[in-house]
Structure 1
Amino acid sequence: MQHPILLVGNDINNISRGQSWKDLLQEILTFCGTNCVQLDDKKPFPLLYEEIFLTAIQQSHIRERDLKGFIAKKIGDITPNELHARIRELKPAHVLTTNYEYTLEGSTPEQHSSLIKERTFSIFRKYTLHNTEYWHIHGDCLNPMSINLGFEHYGGQLQQMRNYVVSGTTYSSPQAPRLPLLQRLKHGPVSTYSWLDLFFTKDIHILGLSLDFVETDLWWLLTYRARQKFQRNTIPVHNKLYYYIPSEFEKAAAFKLDMLKANDVQIVSISAANKTAYYVEVLKRIKEK
């Protein structure tokens, strides 16, 4: 495949040595000075973040800018591994990522290449390196307040996404497209202003992303795209979405895979001896398509 388009999640970072997510959560609690928040796997992380932050406000009057700055610094210390280099070797046209750091780019970008500069949300957030466009769809470490962690931020991000696709943007910048994506799609090929354009126009390979149901923004996007294709049929939707999963997790994740299939996502199950071998095979399959 020439210059594929990838959506990459955090699991590829788990091959790198370093602190675990649980360790990071404990450090966040220490930084906030909260001693009454209980870490529990049953708590959805966006709501756990709100619990930590709101408790910290009441106990120590912490500012969210300081908290997110601390988190950005910690996440920015993630060590690159061979998979990040292998992804760059594919020479992808676009890499969409929910990750905040720049291990995929291979270096910290000097400046953004977005259509407009966003402070909080991430509709246009993009960096271009070596002819690949990297879209940080949940924020990035250079802009700590853009890092999408809490329930409030997810709600705002989804609002901006729906505006862009359905009703039109509310950005004051004259460079932001005024017509919603749906209208532009009706009149022929569209320019790629946002990562959202790609979800309706290009084949996308999804890897290293658990797609937990707390990712309400992405599940809305998948559902809306599928409804346009199968229910409303008002715009052409001919692109394909591929979701890669290790075969060993397929049975336990059957409930989620069923939902992905209903939303027009093709499941690619791969067997491998270990995590690194699995991702090497995923990238090989993408290259061969």
Structure 2
Amino acid sequence: MKSFEQLLPELKLGNKKIALIIGAGFHSQFIKNHDPIFNRLKNWNCLLDWLKKEFKYHFENSSDSILDFEKIIINQNNINHSEKSASEIEDEIIDTLVKEIRYLTEVKNIETENSLLEIFNNEYVSDVLNLNFDLLLENKYAERTNTKNWKRLKWVTPELKKQKSKIDFQYRYINNIRFWHPHGDFQHKKSVVLGLRRYGLQLKNLESYRKTYKKRIKKDKNNFVEENWMEVIMNKPILILGANLSINEQDILFALINKKRNFIKSKSDSLDERSHIFQMVENRNTTNLGDLASPLYSNMDFKYQWPKLIKLISNDEI
């Protein structure tokens, strides 16, 4: 298996690019403010604790954040003795959440470590799958690249007329990079994916996308253009930054596993650059994905990995 440093120049020579998966851990490096209020953008447990306080329901967080979110929904009727449906309660909770994220990212003055934006070099990166609900990264990257009037775009083709309203087919195009939000964003609260039921519906959609991808790629591999974020994962080398991808990230794991299954006939992953998955992990030799991914750098703390990656991907070592 090639290392990320070995693969990147080869991709450039072949005019091929990678896709990044960005999680809340990216914000831990990106947001410089030390005010604990910003931990809600950096850590799901902090955001969950805040939601529990807002909805007056206290319990100890488990390792399954999706199930914990469902607990808040189910117990609201017991607490308030209301006649609202679970869907109505879920909408209330998500509405509260997106208002808070809007406040944190648009009203509060956030200081950011803008050197990290050098990672989003469009010579090497074609797509970013942002698992966060906010648009802080997009806003700062647009400012840095002087990109104006960007907004979420929809695929509008005859084949996708029925599906064009789904978040899976929508992205923001900033300085030649597509930014997708697989779990939705605060500007479109109906797109937010939280809770076991919404993740379940997401998986149902992804299986349909997988089948469509297999048919489309057979017709024209060389001129293939991805039409949703699932196809991006299937068709591009992946670098995961600031996301541990626990079992809670069921949809992303589903896509990554199907990506690996797609290349199972190859004797070696090196035979097809699209099969590669790398993940930034702290000071250990393996990722929590096991053999599905290779560590970006082994035996190195995060504080050393980020500048090393910036230097690599900003052309200094290519």
Common fold: TM-score over 0.5: yes
- Show structure 1 runs of 5+ residues with no match: 167-179
- 2:297 match: 269
Deviation at 1:210, TM superposition (A): 0.5
- 1:102 match: 135
Which of 115, 119, 137 is equivalent to 1:87?
119
Is the aligned partner of 1:127 residue 2:172? Answer: yes
Question: Quick one: structure 1 residues 47 and 144, their matched pair in 2 at CA, closer, same or farther if it must change by over 3 Å?
Answer: same
Which of 210, 226, 229 is equivalent to 2:244?
210
Deviation at 1:33, TM superposition (A): 2.8
User: Normalised by the size of structure 1, how large is the TM-score?
Assistant: 0.78
Percent of residue pairs bearing the same amino acid type: 19
Q: Distance in 2 between matches of 1:197 and 1:257?
A: 20
Q: Distance in 2 between matches of 1:270 and 1:74?
A: 37
Q: Which amino acid in structure 2 is aligned with residue 26 of structure 1?
A: D
Specify which structure has the higher proportion of helix. Answer: 2
Deviation at 1:72, TM superposition (A): 1.5
Contact 1:201/1:237 (8 A) holds in 2? no
Aligned 1:55-70 pairs, distance under 5 A: 55-60=75-80, 61=84, 63-70=89-96
- 2:3 match: none
Deviation at 1:155, TM superposition (A): 0.7
Cα RMSD after superposing both structures: 3.0
Deviation at 1:49, TM superposition (A): 0.1
Is the aligned partner of 1:13 residue 2:27? Answer: yes
Aligned 1:20-99 pairs, distance under 5 A: 20=39, 21=43, 22-34=45-57, 37-40=58-61, 42-60=62-80, 61=84, 63-76=89-102, 77-78=104-105, 79=110, 81-82=112-113, 84-88=116-120, 92-99=125-132
Aligned 1:181-192 pairs, distance under 5 A: 181-189=213-221, 190-192=224-226
Which of 261, 264, 277 is equivalent to 1:242?
277
Q: Distance in 2 between matches of 1:81 and 1:43?
A: 29
Q: Which amino acid in structure 2 is aligned with residue 187 of structure 1?
A: K
Q: Which amino acid in structure 2 is aligned with residue 188 of structure 1?
A: D
Deviation at 1:132, TM superposition (A): 1.7
User: Normalised by the size of structure 2, how large is the TM-score?
Assistant: 0.71
Deviation at 1:237, TM superposition (A): 5.8
Number of residue pairs the alignment of both structures matches? 262
Q: Distance in 1 between matches of 2:245 and 2:154?
A: 25
- 1:169 match: none
Is the aligned partner of 1:144 residue 2:165? Answer: no
Deviations 1:133-183 (A, max 9, x none): 1011111111122222211111111111111112xxxxxxxxxxxxx1111
Deviation at 1:47, TM superposition (A): 0.2
Contact 1:201/1:239 (8 A) holds in 2? yes
Deviation at 1:4, TM superposition (A): 4.1
Q: Distance in 1 between matches of 2:168 and 2:184?
A: 9
Question: Quick one: structure 1 residues 23 and 8, their matched pair in 2 at CA, closer, same or farther if it must change by over 3 Å?
Answer: closer
Deviations 1:9-64 (A, max 9, x none): 11011132343344432321222232xx3122x34000000001111144334632
Deviation at 1:242, TM superposition (A): 3.2
Deviation at 1:105, TM superposition (A): 0.9
- 1:279 match: 306
Question: Quick one: structure 1 residues 184 and 102, their matched pair in 2 at CA, closer, same or farther if it must change by over 3 Å?
Answer: same
Deviation at 1:255, TM superposition (A): 7.2
- Show structure 2 runs of 5+ residues with no match: 1-7, 143-148, 157-162
